[in-house]
């Protein structure tokens, strides 16, 4: 085990929505327990993601999911909040990886050698696994938020700026979990005053 190089894949979910936190996952896969069907979470159906998520959690050497909350998104900006969630996910792993591979252009500061890989979620299995865990965890959270704020339809759009979500924002104003730094939310708040 000591000569094994532990590579951690990192990805996020929820940069584009108008509501809810941004989530990030870090996954160290176990080469002796490969997982069939890993792909970028956006290319998988909800059913496929929900089937793969428990398999990833069971077979990975280590995994973690972390968040940056709405207040952090509004005070930092979405990119910095995403990097914060990624950093939290990596640092929460029960075993420390030797290298961190991150989907996208930027790496969180973790003190561990890191590399950003554009379209990494479709090139690196560990990043694909992280994208699935980040997405399913955030979707589950948005389903819980739907019960708290049913008038916005979070169960359907998960906070993304769909026509029905924008209409609900116009009608009801912003909820406590809306990102006030995002333009459609600001516009809705101005028009409901």
Q: How confident is the model at residue 42 (pLDDT cuts 50, 70, 90)?
A: confident
**Is the distance from CB of 12 to CB of 22 less than 8 angstroms?**
yes
Within 8 A by CB and 6+ apart from 116, the residues are: 102, 103, 104, 105, 106, 107
Q: 17: number of CA atoms within 13 Å, CB side? A: 27
Fold of 7-148: Nucleotidyltransferase; domain 5 (3.30.420)
| 81, containing H or E segment | helix 78-91
Domain locations in the chain? 7-148
Closest by CA to 88, choosing from 53, 64, 122, 113, is 64
**Is the distance from CB of 35 to CB of 125 less than 8 angstroms?**
yes
* Predicted model pTM: 0.94
Give per-residue pLDDT as tens, 111-140: 999 999 999 999 999 999 999 999 999 999
């Amino acid at each position: 085990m000591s000569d094994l190089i532990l590579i951690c894949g990192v990805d996020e979910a929820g940069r584009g929505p108008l509501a809810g936190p941004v989530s990030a996952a870090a996954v160290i896969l176990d080469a002796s327990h490969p997982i069939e069907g890993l792909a970028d979470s956006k290319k998988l159906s909800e059913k496929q993601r929900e089937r793969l998520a428990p398999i990833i959690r069971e077979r990975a050497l280590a995994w973690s999911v972390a968040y940056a909350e709405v207040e952090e998104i509004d005070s930092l900006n979405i990119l910095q909040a995403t990097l914060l969630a990624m950093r939290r996910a990596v640092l929460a792993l029960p075993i420390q990886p030797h290298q961190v591979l991150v989907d996208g252009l930027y790496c969180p500061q973790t003190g561990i050698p890191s590399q950003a890989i554009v379209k990494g979620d479709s090139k690196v299995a560990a990043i694909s696994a992280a994208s699935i865990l980040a997405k399913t965890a955030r979707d589950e959270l948005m389903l819980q938020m739907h019960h708290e704020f049913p008038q916005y339809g979070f169960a359907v759009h998960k906070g993304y700026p769909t026509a029905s979500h924008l209409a609900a924002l116009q009608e009801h104003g912003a909820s406590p979990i809306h990102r006030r730094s995002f333009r459609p939310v600001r516009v809705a708040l101005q028009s409901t005053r």
